[in-house]
């Protein structure tokens, strides 16, 4: 049996399409993009390799924390908290041996300590920035200045820090996709369907992959990034490695909700 992927939804996080998802230079070409906050799902992914259970990210914080420190209007049902979601999918959180983080933002790392047998994998650059972020990113990384503790604090000896591409286990590999965050990475997973690319927030929406020929853009840039030049090259790299965008699995694309209701397990 090959590796299977179970997409799990950890809740919904609200954000503004104009200030988050579509760069201002693209607004003219997306006349229907709203200026009203919109809820986006927060998926994380459970990989069953046959011998190990591995998570890619572990979802957003509870509703109270999300609303107080991050995006007001966000919500998480109790059974969407990542340990509960893992149980609901038929696994025990103690079975999880590894968590691969695309990046260390608050909506990808919460409850990580509850997977007590897991080793954590992140890019070294991401980890170092997360431990000492610029003030602009205090909220994203739940920096102590806010008076709260980030989920990854106190876990130093459980992290494996990566410098670029790496194989985590046979059939599961990472490659750097910086831009949304400094040390963002994507995860390639070989399955019976082919190789899926779990890409975190390398794009928010599948629209971000679309070219805009009128202005010679080969992608639709996002409005939220640490480096838009890195972001652009990373999205090109994902498209180069994975021309079939049905095999690309981001965190926040809303159409995935319906898709995964129909297909709760990929690679079966
Ligand atoms: Zn995110």
Residue 88: is its pLDDT beyond 90?
yes
42 Cα to the center of ligand 1, angstroms:
7
| Average pLDDT along the chain | 96
- Mean pLDDT confidence for 184-194: 98
**Beta partners for 210?**
none
pLDDT digits (tens, 9 = 90+) for 8-64: 999 999 999 999 999 999 999 999 998 899 999 999 999 999 999 999 999 999 989
1 Cα to the center of ligand 1, angstroms:
31
CATH number at 4-262: 3.60.15.10
Global pTM reads 0.97
Torsion angle of alpha carbons 144, 140, 109, 38, nearest 10°? 140
220 Cα to the center of ligand 1, angstroms:
18
Q: How confident is the model at residue 204 (pLDDT cuts 50, 70, 90)?
A: very high
Q: How confident is the model at residue 184 (pLDDT cuts 50, 70, 90)?
A: very high
251 Cα to the center of ligand 1, angstroms:
6
The pLDDT, as a whole number, for residue 133 is 97
The pLDDT, as a whole number, for residue 116 is 97
């Amino acid at each position: 049996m090959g590796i299977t992927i179970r997409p799990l939804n950890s809740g919904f996080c609200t954000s503004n399409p104009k200030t988050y998802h579509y760069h201002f230079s693209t607004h003219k070409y997306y006349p229907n993009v709203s200026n009203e906050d919109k809820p986006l799902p927060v998926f994380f992914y459970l990989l069953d390799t046959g011998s190990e259970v591995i998570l890619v990210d572990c979802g957003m914080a509870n509703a109270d924390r999300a609303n107080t420190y991050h995006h007001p209007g966000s919500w998480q049902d109790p059974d969407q908290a990542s340990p509960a979601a893992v149980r609901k999918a038929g696994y025990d959180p103690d079975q999880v041996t590894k968590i691969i983080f695309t990046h260390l933002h608050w909506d990808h790392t919460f409850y990580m300590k509850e997977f007590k047998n897991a080793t954590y994998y992140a890019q070294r650059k991401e980890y170092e920035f997360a431990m000492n972020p610029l003030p602009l990113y205090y909220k994203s990384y739940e920096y102590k200045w806010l008076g709260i503790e980030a989920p990854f604090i106190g876990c130093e000896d459980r992290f494996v820090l990566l410098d670029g591409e790496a194989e985590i286990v046979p059939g599961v590999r990472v490659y750097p996709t910086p831009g949304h965050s400094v040390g963002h990475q994507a995860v390639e997973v070989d399955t019976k369907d082919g190789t899926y690319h779990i890409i975190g927030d390398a794009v928010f929406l599948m629209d971000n992959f679309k070219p805009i020929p009128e202005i010679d853009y080969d992608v639709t840039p996002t409005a939220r990034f640490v480096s838009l030049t890195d972001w652009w090259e990373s999205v090109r790299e994902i498209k180069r490695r994975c021309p079939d965008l049905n095999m690309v699995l981001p965190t926040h694309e809303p159409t995935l909700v319906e898709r995964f209701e129909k297909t709760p397990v990929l690679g079966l």
